C-alpha cells in the first residue's frame, strides 16, 4: 500500500537534484515587463531602453543576517527582494529584474524553495510591479546563503547619488525609522528557549502581534518613492540599511557637508531617537531636497543640511552625537556584530 501524503517523506533538493528542483521552482517566478529572454539559457536578456542600467547586489547568510528558527521561507524571500529593490530605488531608478543565487543544505525541502519562489513573485508584484526574476544559480552548502543581483532603469533621469547634498537642503526620510531594530531586539530578548537558542514558536507569536517584529522579518519599504524623489529633484539619496547615523554619515562625507537631524522628528524620546539612529535593516530611503520642495510619497522632513563642522558629518539638534546622549549610534556592521554560530 502506498504511503499517505502525511506519511510521505518530503522531497529535498538532495533527493531530487538540481534539474527536478528547478522544474518545481521556475513556474513560481515572475517574468517581468522588461524581460526579453528569461530563465533557460546561459544568460537572460533584459531590455535597457535608456542605454544605461542600475545594478546592485546583496548577500544574506544564515547566522549574521537571519536565523532559520525565526524566519520562514516567505520571510527570507521578501527580505531579500526588499533589500535589493530598495537599493535600486535609492538611485532614482525603476527596478526591472532580479537574478537569484541560492546555496542551501541538501536536506532543504523543495516545498521550502517553492514558497521562497512564490513569495519572490509576490514581493516583486507588491513592491515593484513589473520586476522579473530572470535567472540565477543553485548550489549546496551547509550554510544557507541567498545572493540577489537587481537591475533598474533610469528612464532618462540622472542617477541620484550620495554626493549631491547642498547646504540649505531639507533632509527627509521615507517610511518608519527604527522599526527593524526594535523588532530584532524583541526577538533576541523573547524569542529564545530556556537555553538561549532561537525559538520558532515564540517568534511566530511575536510576528503575529508586533508589527516591528513582522517588519524586521519581512520589511516592506516604499520602493516606489525612489522614482518620485528623483522626479521631485532629490539632490542625494540612499537606502537606509545600516542605520540612520551611519548612512547619513555616508551622504555627509560624499557631499562634504553635515546633516543636522531633528530629534523631535525622530520620535522625541531617547529610545526612539536611538532606534532611528542606530537601527539597521529598515530599507527605507533617506534623501535631501532643495528647500521649499514639496516632499513626495511618504517622505517627511527630519533635518537640514548645514556647513561641514568639527562635530562630524551627522549632528542631532546641532550637537555632536556623542554629546547628544544617544549612546552607540554606529549602526549595523556584520563584521562587528557577528561573533558566533546561529541557531
Do the annotations mark residue 272 as ligand-binding? no
By the 8 A CB rule, do 297 and 187 touch?
Answer: no
Do the annotations mark residue 268 as ligand-binding? no
Burial of residue 199, with CB atoms counted within 10 A of its CB: 0-12 exposed, 13-18 middle, 19 or more buried? buried
Do the annotations mark residue 56 as ligand-binding? yes
Do the annotations mark residue 2 as ligand-binding? no
- Phi then psi dihedrals of residue 214, to 5 deg: -60, -40
Strand order in the sheet with 236-240: 236-240, 284-289, 170-174, 299-307, 257-261, 314-316, 319-320
Do the annotations mark residue 162 as ligand-binding? yes
Do the annotations mark residue 58 as ligand-binding? yes
Q: How far apart are CA 35 and CA 4, in angstroms?
A: 41
Do the annotations mark residue 242 as ligand-binding? yes
Q: Where are the beta strands (DSSP E) in 120-271?
A: 132-140, 145-153, 170-174, 236-240, 257-261
Do the annotations mark residue 207 as ligand-binding? no
Q: How far apart are CA 70 and CA 16, in angstroms?
A: 26
Signed CA dihedral, 308, 313, 318, 320: sign only? negative
With b meaning 16 or more CB within 10 Å and e meaning fewer, what string describes 159-180?
ebbbebbeeebbbbbbbbbbbb
The cell for 268 is 522625541
Do the annotations mark residue 41 as ligand-binding? no
In three-state secondary structure terms, 157 is coil
Q: Where are the beta strands (DSSP E) in the chain?
A: 35-37, 45-46, 54-61, 94-104, 132-140, 145-153, 170-174, 236-240, 257-261, 284-289, 299-307, 314-316, 319-320
Do the annotations mark residue 212 as ligand-binding? no
Do the annotations mark residue 262 as ligand-binding? no
Annotated binding residues for Mg(2+), as ranges?
A: 42, 56-58, 87, 137, 239, 242
Annotated binding residues for ATP, as ranges?
A: 136-137, 162, 241
Annotated binding residues, as ranges?
A: 42, 56-58, 65, 87, 136-137, 162, 239, 241-242, 281, 332
Annotated binding residues for substrate, as ranges?
A: 65, 281, 332
Amino acid at each position: 500500500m502506498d504511503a499517505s501524503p502525511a506519511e510521505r517523506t518530503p522531497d529535498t533538493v538532495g533527493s531530487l537534484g538540481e534539474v527536478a528542483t528547478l522544474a518545481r521552482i521556475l513556474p513560481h517566478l515572475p517574468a517581468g515587463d522588461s524581460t526579453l529572454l528569461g530563465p533557460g539559457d546561459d544568460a537572460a536578456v533584459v531590455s535597457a531602453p535608456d542605454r544605461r542600467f542600475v545594478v546592485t547586489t546583496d548577500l544574506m547568510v544564515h547566522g549574521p543576517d537571519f536565523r532559520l528558527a525565526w524566519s520562514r521561507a516567505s520571510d527570507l524571500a521578501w527580505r531579500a527582494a526588499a533589500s535589493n529593490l530598495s537599493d535600486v530605488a535609492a538611485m532614482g531608478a525603476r527596478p526591472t529584474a532580479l537574478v537569484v543565487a541560492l546555496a542551501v543544505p541538501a536536506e532543504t525541502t523543495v516545498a521550502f524553495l517553492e514558497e521562497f519562489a512564490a513569495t519572490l513573485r509576490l514581493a516583486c508584484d507588491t513592491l515593484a510591479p513589473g520586476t522579473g526574476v530572470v535567472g540565477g544559480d543553485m548550489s549546496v552548502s551547509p550554510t544557507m546563503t541567498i545572493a540577489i543581483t537587481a537591475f533598474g532603469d533610469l528612464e532618462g533621469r540622472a542617477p541620484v547619488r550620495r554626493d549631491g547634498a547642498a547646504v540649505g537642503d531639507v533632509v527627509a526620510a521615507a517610511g518608519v525609522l527604527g522599526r527593524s531594530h526594535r523588532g530584532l531586539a524583541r526577538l533576541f530578548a523573547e524569542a529564545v528557549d530556556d537555553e538561549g537558542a532561537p525559538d520558532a514558536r515564540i517568534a511566530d507569536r511575536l510576528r503575529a502581534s508586533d508589527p516591528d517584529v513582522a517588519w524586521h522579518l519581512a520589511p516592506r519599504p516604499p520602493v516606489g518613492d525612489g522614482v518620485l524623489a528623483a522626479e521631485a529633484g532629490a539632490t542625494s539619496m540612499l537606502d537606509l540599511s545600516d542605520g540612520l547615523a551611519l548612512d547619513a554619515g555616508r551622504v555627509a562625507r560624499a557631499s562634504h557637508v553635515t546633516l543636522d537631524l531633528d530629534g523631535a522628528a525622530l520620535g522625541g524620546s531617547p529610545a526612539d531617537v536611538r532606534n532611528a539612529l542606530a537601527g539597521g535593516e529598515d530599507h527605507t530611503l533617506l534623501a535631501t531636497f532643495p528647500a521649499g520642495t514639496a516632499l513626495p510619497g511618504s517622505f517627511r522632513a527630519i533635518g537640514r543640511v548645514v556647513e561641514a563642522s568639527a562635530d562630524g558629518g551627522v549632528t542631532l539638534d546641532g550637537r555632536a552625537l556623542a554629546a547628544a546622549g544617544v549612546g552607540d549610534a554606529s549602526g549595523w556592521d556584520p563584521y562587528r556584530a557577528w561573533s558566533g554560530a546561529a541557531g
